[in-house]
Amino acid sequence: MTGADGKEVQGEQLSYERKDVWDMKWAEDNPELFAMMEKTRMYIFRNMEPEVIVTIVNNCHCFGL
């Protein structure tokens, strides 16, 4: 896999598993943040730890803080 600068980057497999995830989006301005939709809940993660849980039925189109 290559990064935005064209150099090869090494990824890692996450140490946990989510079974009912149907959408996720990384923050455009912070690589430590992402939003994940699981059933009817949206989780906001910072450094792979959930911070906020919101009940919602919609898609994540734009995400940034």
Torsion 33-51-37-20 (CA) sign: positive
Residue 14 has a pLDDT of: 66
Q: What is the pLDDT of residue 50?
A: 86
* Residue corresponding to tokens 């993660």: 45
Asked if residue 26 has pLDDT above 70, the reply is yes
pTM for the whole thing? 0.60
Q: What is the pLDDT of residue 1?
A: 57
**Mean pLDDT of the 19-27 span:** 86
Mean pLDDT, residues 18-44 taken together: 87
**More confident: 62 or 15:** 15
